[in-house]
Amino acid sequence: MELDPSLMADLRQVGQDLYRFGLVTSHGGNLSVRLGSHVWITGTGKRLGYLEATDIACVSETGELLGGATPSSDTAIHLAVYRSADASAVVHAHAPHAVAITASAAVFVPEDLEGRYHLDDAPVVDQGPGAAERVAAALAERRVAILRDHGVYARGEDLWAALHWVMALEESARISWLRRSLVALSPAREE
Ligand SMILES: [Zn+2]
């Protein structure tokens, strides 16, 4: 199985963007792309900001390793998304504001215009057994979902679309965070 150079270029650039914008730590997050009956996915423990072709794994739709690196430990989640949602790419990141603001929420509803326009809302699903199927079910209905206390998963027709939804969600979460901070601070400022 040969990794197409243009696909590798997209994986590398999207990984760099996630790292540059603080959406993953040095070894966090993962990316995948579905091409026909197989899936290219970043290897476990690889650094998204510095991806090389040897960091990428190729697996079948059922998770059988077809070549390359040891696949991400999140491979089962990516494959579950491809089974149930209209997606050709999945991005998983550790968007800090989105995770923090939904710690005890069932859903995140953007308060800003852009977020409402692009995302409607983002379901929050719980960790534990069945999490892969819960993420997949959420992404069958929405472009991005949050795994509680962990990170976000987005789907798209390509990596760039999935990156867009991750960034849109994080921006909306950051705006909501700022708004709530201002409200919390306002009584003190009036004294
Ligand atoms: Zn993660």
What are the pLDDT digits (tens) for 111-168? Answer: 999 999 999 999 999 999 999 999 999 999 999 999 999 999 999 999 999 999 999 9
Ligand 1 center from residue 151 Cα (angstroms):
6
Q: Which residue has the tokens 């070549």?
A: 67
pLDDT of residue 187: 72
Q: How far is the CA of 36 from the centre of ligand 1 (A)?
A: 25
Confidence category of residue 189, pLDDT binned at 50, 70, 90: low
Half-sphere exposure (Cβ direction) of 121: Cα atoms closer than 13 Å: 10
Q: In this structure, are residues 124 and 152 in contact, taking their beta carbons and an 8 Å threshold?
A: no
Instruction: Please tell me the distance between residue 28's alpha carbon and the centre of ligand 1 in angstroms.
Output: 6
Which among 139, 31, 48 is positioned nearest to 89, based on CA atoms?
A: 31
Taking Cα atoms as reference points, which of 101, 79, 100 lies closest to residue 30? Answer: 79
To the nearest whole percent, how much of the chain has pLDDT over 70? 98
CA 95 / ligand 1 centre spacing (Å): 10
Q: In DSSP terms, which residues pair with 2 in a beta bridge?
A: none
Local confidence band at 49 (pLDDT 50, 70, 90 cut-offs): very high
pLDDT band at 172 (very low <50, low <70, confident <90, very high): very high
* d(CA 150, ligand 1 centre) in Å: 6
Listed in sequence order, the residues at least 6 apart from 1 whose beta carbon sits closer than 8 Å to its beta carbon are 38, 58, 66, 67, 68
Length of the chain: 191
SS3 145: strand
pTM (2 d.p.): 0.94
